[in-house]
Amino acid sequence: MSSLTGTPADADRALKAKHRSMWALGDYPGLADDLLQELGRTLVQASAVAPGERVLDVGAGSGNAAIPAAEAGATVVASDLTPELFEVGRRHAAERGVELQWREADAEALPFADGEFDVVLSSIGVMFAPHHQAAADELVRVARPGGRIGLLSWTPEGFIGQLFATMKPFAPPPPPGAQPAPLWGDEDHVRELLGPRVTDVTTRRKLLTVDHFATPEDFRDYFKARYGPTMAVYRFLSDEPEKTAALDRDLADLARRYDLGTDGTVLEWEYLLLTARRSAEVPAPR
Ligand SMILES: C[S@@+](CC[C@H](N)C(=O)[O-])C[C@H]1O[C@@H](n2cnc3c(N)ncnc32)[C@H](O)[C@@H]1O
């Protein structure tokens, strides 16, 4: 049955299957190793992960936050929609002498009990689940009362938020009800999603410095070859050489606009780092 004629549950399964194949494209684990390692460590530190705590990483990918959390002595479950990414994660964990559990899971329907975790983390992960309220409800549900939630998300105005804005006119329209990922980088939006079920919310906007690319075109070609969301847009345009050339130009221009470098390209990628505590008394769901 196609997603057009099936139930909403069929449509959701089809959408998640599409997202899973998108994140499995290219080489996300290699990209995370090259560019993003600082993010996982920053999130673990900001969330004050301590030895013996039970930690869930949502949208863990190849373990960018989950592995540092295990290195901090926590008992960690790394969960993700795309289990293809776990193979590299398992290898990295073994190299670093830590063990964690890897579990396929949709952030919008986590297969965990209420209050099962002391800390629930997501490093640029949960932001890619299309139904924001459903995903936020799950983050809160699986954190124990008094437990912590730590989220790191690209901001809409920052470089990766603008990468998505640049790709949008070239991409197929999103399915009804799907929300844009970079909204999780908007503090007001996330406060609203978490609502009165959390207290002690702290937020900081921070910058990740990326000096990996020699030129703006080098950035574009790297993302075109390795980053699933960018590769998916190029695949969508495969029969349209003019639009492909326009996207080529726009992605290089984006990097040129943000380039701070004098010797090689230097980019600063803005993200929102948010920590919160699940209220001890949890109001009934809205
Ligand atoms: C940008 S990667 C981040 C991975 C890792 N946390 C990091 O910091 O490198 C986004 C991740 O979110 C995952 N993801 C996307 N939609 C998801 C969903 N609905 N549920 C769980 N994970 C999801 C993807 O499979 C991918 O691994």
Assess if residue 256 is contained within a domain.
no
pLDDT tier for residue 189 given thresholds of 50, 70 and 90: very high
- pLDDT at site 275: 98
Q: 12 in ligand 1 pocket by Cβ < 6 Å?
A: no
Q: Is the pLDDT of residue 285 over 90?
A: no
Q: Is the pLDDT of residue 194 over 60?
A: yes
Q: 65 in ligand 1 pocket by Cβ < 6 Å?
A: yes
Query: What's the 61 CA to ligand 1 centre distance in angstroms?
Result: 5
Nearest to 4 by CA among 124, 125, 175: 175
Assess if residue 151 is contained within a domain.
yes
Question: Which residue has a Cα nearest atom 17 of ligand 1?
Answer: 129
Structural domain containing residue 164:
13-209+270-278
In the beta sheet, which residues pair with residue 153?
A: 272
Assess if residue 103 is contained within a domain.
yes
Instruction: Find the mean pLDDT for residues 158-172.
Output: 98
Q: Is the pLDDT of residue 1 over 90?
A: no
Q: 19 in ligand 1 pocket by Cβ < 6 Å?
A: yes
Average pLDDT value for the chain: 96
Nearest to 129 by CA among 161, 174, 81, 162: 81
Interval 47-70: pLDDT, tens: 999 999 999 999 999 999 999 999
Place of tokens 């919008």: 108
Assess if residue 257 is contained within a domain.
no
Q: 123 in ligand 1 pocket by Cβ < 6 Å?
A: yes
Q: Is the pLDDT of residue 32 over 90?
A: yes
Question: Which residue has a Cα nearest atom 4 of ligand 1?
Answer: 61
Instruction: Find the mean pLDDT for residues 36-43.
Output: 98
Q: Which of 12-26, 114-128, 137-151, 271-285 has the lowest mean pLDDT?
A: 271-285
- pLDDT at site 4: 53
Assess if residue 219 is contained within a domain.
no
Assess if residue 46 is contained within a domain.
yes
Nearest-atom number in ligand 1 for the CA of 23 is: 25
> What does the DSSP 8-state code read for residue 114?
T
- Is residue 94 within 8 Å of residue 123, measured between CB atoms? no
Question: Which residue has a Cα nearest atom 6 of ligand 1?
Answer: 60
Interval 225-253: pLDDT, tens: 999 999 999 999 999 999 999 999 999 99
Nearest to 143 by CA among 68, 73, 54: 54
Tally the domains of the chain. Answer: 1
pLDDT tier for residue 262 given thresholds of 50, 70 and 90: confident
For residues 130 and 256, what is the distance between their CA atoms, to the nearest angstrom? 30
Residue 171 maps to which CATH number?
A: 3.40.50.150
- State the alpha helices, DSSP H only, in the chain: 8-24, 28-31, 37-46, 66-71, 86-95, 132-142, 159-167, 187-194, 216-226, 228-236, 241-258
Instruction: Find the mean pLDDT for residues 104-131.
Output: 98
- For a mutational test of ligand 1's pocket, the pick from 128, 133, 152, 223, i.e. the residue with the most ligand atoms closer than 8 A to its C-beta, is 128
Instruction: Find the mean pLDDT for residues 33-50.
Output: 98
Nearest to 33 by CA among 41, 22, 44, 45: 41
Query: What's the 106 CA to ligand 1 centre distance in angstroms?
Result: 9
- For a mutational test of ligand 1's pocket, the pick from 80, 88, 210, i.e. the residue with the most ligand atoms closer than 8 A to its C-beta, is 80
Assess if residue 246 is contained within a domain.
no
Phi/psi of residue 101, nearest 5 degrees = -95, 135
pLDDT tier for residue 263 given thresholds of 50, 70 and 90: confident
Largest CA distance in the chain: 57
Interval 84-104: pLDDT, tens: 999 999 999 999 999 999 999
Query: What's the 242 CA to ligand 1 centre distance in angstroms?
Result: 31
Assess if residue 264 is contained within a domain.
no
pLDDT tier for residue 261 given thresholds of 50, 70 and 90: confident
Q: 228 in ligand 1 pocket by Cβ < 6 Å?
A: no
Q: Is the pLDDT of residue 3 over 80?
A: no
In the beta sheet, which residues pair with residue 272?
A: 153, 205
